Amino acid sequence: MREITDSLADAFDRVEDFQAVQADATPEGLRESVELLQEAVGIREEERSLIRERLEGIRGSNRAPGHVLLGLIVGLMAREEI
């Protein structure tokens, strides 16, 4: 179980690093950076389409789709570390 904990910690560290680098980004720059972060974990247009479809089935996701996406990104990064 320790490996999963370490992997999640590493994934959160990577997201925090991303946020620190993007702190002063313009809205356009931030959008591009988020797309690059998604691509880094294998989320491209086809996957974004699937995510949009599946979000409808997650209660409350319409109020915070970015939070759901962040959870998916952290999960995918953690998976890479296992």
Question: What total number of domains does the chain contain?
Answer: 1
CA dist 45 and 23 (Å) reads 25
Three-state helix/strand/coil letters over 28-53: HHHHHHHHHHHHHCCCCHHHHHHHHH
What pLDDT score was predicted for residue 12?
87
Containing structural domain, residue 57: 2-81
Rounded to the nearest 10°, the torsion over CA 23, 24, 28, 30 is: -10
pLDDT of 81 strictly over 70: no
Read off the tokens for 11: 């994934």
Total-model pTM:
0.70
Tens-digit pLDDT profile for residues 24-70: 989 998 889 888 888 888 899 999 999 989 988 888 888 888 888 88
Q: Which of 55, 73, 71 is closest to 63 using CA atoms?
A: 55
